[in-house]
Amino acid sequence: MELVIEGLSKTYANGVQALRDVTLTVAPGMFGLLGPNGAGKSTLMRTIATLQRPDSGAIRLGDIDVLAQPAELRKQLGYLPQEFGLYPNQSAEAVLDHFAELKGVTASGERRDLVSALLQQTNLYELRHKKVGGFSGGMKQRLGIAIALAGSPRLLIVDEPTAGLDPTERRRFLNLLGEIGEGVIVILSTHIVDDVRELCHRMAIINQGAVVLSGDPAAVIEELRGRVWRSVVPRADLAAFAAAHEVISTRLVAGTPVVHVYSDADPGTGFTPVEAGLEDVYFHRLGAQAATA
């Protein structure tokens, strides 16, 4: 079973073209969708989840025509949006029980067993009687995943799940996602490069509504091997440096700008070669797209 997206386009009433002929094939396992804020990721996720319709294009999940059969898709879907509401005065157990019933688990004994299993899976069982209004951001995200899994979905969409989480909660959440991504299509939509690097065997980069790259993270990193160079540059020289070189990224290390540049050959004195990473691929592709826009 695969999720096949073909020629998906969407322009909003205000004239913003959120999706531009998006075509992707997503197999079971973890798939990372990378892009900056406003790139079109959330629009694509909402469209796949049947929350809005595209202007053109097609989506299929196995033998389901998603746009023609939205109710069938929803039976197979678990969706954790970037922002979602819970019942703050209810316990985690009560909230999950409610959503499990909404997803068609009507037999009380079956639902009780399912709720218990999902709370165990998401490491919330010991907190099952606590009101969710007192949960941390990471606890809420894990409860959101438990809700998304309640219907045994074949397709799981998570939109910016680690934004705002502290390092401990982020690690716990990523480990949970990694365990889920066996035999299920899991789409991880994020602007955090490390999330994709650590979890996903396939990925795509989307920007300004268009797919600018797709493939295996290791393979796309290999394409930059031997072409990324590092230099420490005084702040006062950054503008002149950028005019002379193809800058991939600039970051401060102990207050001093460290610049990565793209070059097929040694750029000269002051540069050292570095192993390319997924962040280099990400910024290089976004920069190349901006240069041709």
Q: Where are the domains of the chain?
A: 3-91+135-215, 222-292
Task: Enter the tokens of residue 57.
Answer: 């294009």
Instruction: Give the model's pLDDT for residue 180.
Output: 82
Average the pLDDT over 36-52 and give the result. Answer: 93
pLDDT at 48 over 70: yes
| Contact predicate 91/132, CB 8 Å | yes
Q: What tens digit of pLDDT does each residue of 93-121 get?
A: 999 999 999 888 889 999 999 999 999 99
For residue 120, the tally of other CB atoms under 10 A from its CB is 13
User: What pTM did the predictor assign?
Assistant: 0.88
Least confidently predicted of 170-179, 242-251, 270-279: 170-179
Q: Which residue has the higher pLDDT, 20 or 293?
A: 20
What three-state secondary structure class fits 29? Answer: strand
Beta bridge partners of 46: none
Q: Which value, to the nearest 10 degrees, does the dihedral of the CA atoms of residues 49, 54, 56, 62 take?
A: 0
Cα–Cα separations (whole angstroms), residue 110 to 101, 143, 150: 10, 19, 11
Looking at residue 204, its pLDDT comes to: 97
Tell me the per-residue pLDDT of 131-185, one tens digit each, with 9 for 90 and over. Answer: 999 998 888 889 999 999 998 899 999 988 888 888 888 888 888 888 887 779 9
Measured distance CA(20)–CA(185) in Å, rounded: 23
Whether the per-residue pLDDT at 217 is higher than 90: the answer is yes
For domain 3-91+135-215, the question of CATH label 3.40.50.300 is answered with yes
110 class by beta-carbon count within 10 Å (0-12 exposed, 13-18 middle, 19+ buried): exposed
Ranges of H-type helices in the chain:
41-48, 70-75, 92-102, 108-121, 137-149, 167-180, 193-199, 217-222, 238-244, 278-292
Model confidence at 293: pLDDT above 70: no
